[in-house]
Amino acid sequence: MRVYLDNAATTPVDPAVLKEMYQVMENHYGNPSSIHSHGREVRTLIEKARKTIAGLLHTSPAEIFFTSGGTEADNTAIRCSIMDHGIQHAITSKLEHHAVLHTLEAMQKAGTIELSFVETDEKGNIDTAHLETLLQNPNRSLVSLMHANNELGTLSDIELIGDLCEKYNAIYHSDTVQTMGHYEHDLSKLKAHFIVGAAHKFHGPKGVGFLHVNHRIKIKPMIYGGSQERNMRGGTENVYGIVGLAKALEMAYTEMPQHQQHIQGLKTYMMEQLKANIPDVAFNGETNPAKSLYTVLNVSFPEMEMADMLLFSLDIAGISASGGSACSSGSDIGSHVLTAIGASPDRPAVRFSFSKYNTRQEVDYTVDKLKEILLVNA
Domain coordinates in residue numbering, the chain: 3-10+255-376, 15-251
How would CATH label the architecture of 15-251?
3-Layer(aba) Sandwich (3.40)
- Count of all residues that appear for the chain in the document: 378
Q: Do domains 3-10+255-376 and 15-251 have the same CATH topology?
A: no
Long-range contact pairs involving 101-105 (C-beta distance under 8 Å, separation at least 24): 101/336, 103/74, 103/75, 103/78, 103/79, 104/78, 104/144
Exactly one of 83, 256, 271, 327 is catalytic; name it. Answer: 327
Indicate the pTM of the whole model.
0.95
CA distance to 302, 308, 352, 373, per residue, from 377 (Å)? 10, 11, 20, 6
Is the CB of residue 260 less than 8 Å from the CB of residue 182?
yes
Cα–Cα–Cα angle for 122, 186, 134, rounded to 5 degrees: 40
Known catalytic membership, residue 327 = yes
Indicate the CATH number for domain 3-10+255-376. 3.90.1150.10
* Residue-by-residue pLDDT tens, the chain, 378 positions: 999 999 999 999 999 999 999 999 999 999 999 999 999 999 999 999 999 999 999 999 999 999 999 999 999 999 999 999 999 999 999 999 999 999 999 999 999 999 999 999 999 999 999 999 999 999 999 999 999 999 999 999 999 999 999 999 999 999 999 999 999 999 999 999 999 999 999 999 999 999 999 999 999 999 999 999 999 999 999 999 999 999 999 999 999 999 999 999 999 999 999 999 999 999 999 999 999 999 999 999 998 766 678 999 999 999 999 986 665 444 457 899 999 999 988 899 999 999 999 999 999 999 999 999 987 765
Q: Could you give the CA distance from residue 2 to residue 365 in angstroms, rounded to a whole number?
A: 10
Residue closest to 319 by CA, chosen among 276, 242, 375, 372: 372
